Amino acid sequence: MERSVNREFKISFEEIHNRLNLSREVVVLFNKAEQALLNAYAPYSKFKVGWSLLLENGSYIIGNNQENASFPNGICSERVALFSAKANHPDLIIKKIAITCSTDDFIINEPVAPCGMCRQVLLEYEEEQGFPIEVWLFTKFKIFKFNQAKDLLPLFFKEGGLKKKN
């Protein structure tokens, strides 16, 4: 009988305590995410999410969550921005993304990460482009920087399992 083997994943990220040390590119990325947050449509949850991404040509794309009374019809800010980027700039590499959130109901101290669906979409884009996407999660109080989207979802789904073997 074979013995089981314990394995573990190590996920690394940097916690940054001072916005003054950020590059101009990242500051603009954060500002765009905060602007997107203002136009989020979240009348039901009151939890707004703003997202921005930076393309290799220097363009920024924003997204925000869009809720609907029929809850499955809403969409997360991450997918709004990613789908917009790929629809309008299909051949450009996504270099960096930034995510922030807010609510009037409580103070959000810790950065919020994308949901599982959004992580999968982000990761598939990263895999397809063959270039890591730097991920920034931030609030007024904390900043987390991940060097690649894969760090958010180490055991991701790959379409290779769907292909018929000849």
Angle at 54 between CA 124 and CA 48, to 5 degrees: 80
- CB–CB of 75/65 below 8 Å? yes
- CB–CB of 121/78 below 8 Å? yes
Catalytic residue among 56, 78, 127, 159: 78
78 is catalytic: yes
By the 10 Å C-beta count (0-12 exposed, 13-18 middle, 19+ buried), 130 is classed as: exposed
Taking the chain, what is the end-to-end CA distance rounded to the nearest angstrom?
33
Tokens 């609510």 -> residue: 103
Question: Distance (Å, rounded) from C-alpha 21 to C-alpha 150?
Answer: 25
C-alpha pair distances (Å), 158 with each of 33, 38, 120, 150, 152: 29, 35, 9, 12, 15
Residues recognised as catalytic? 78
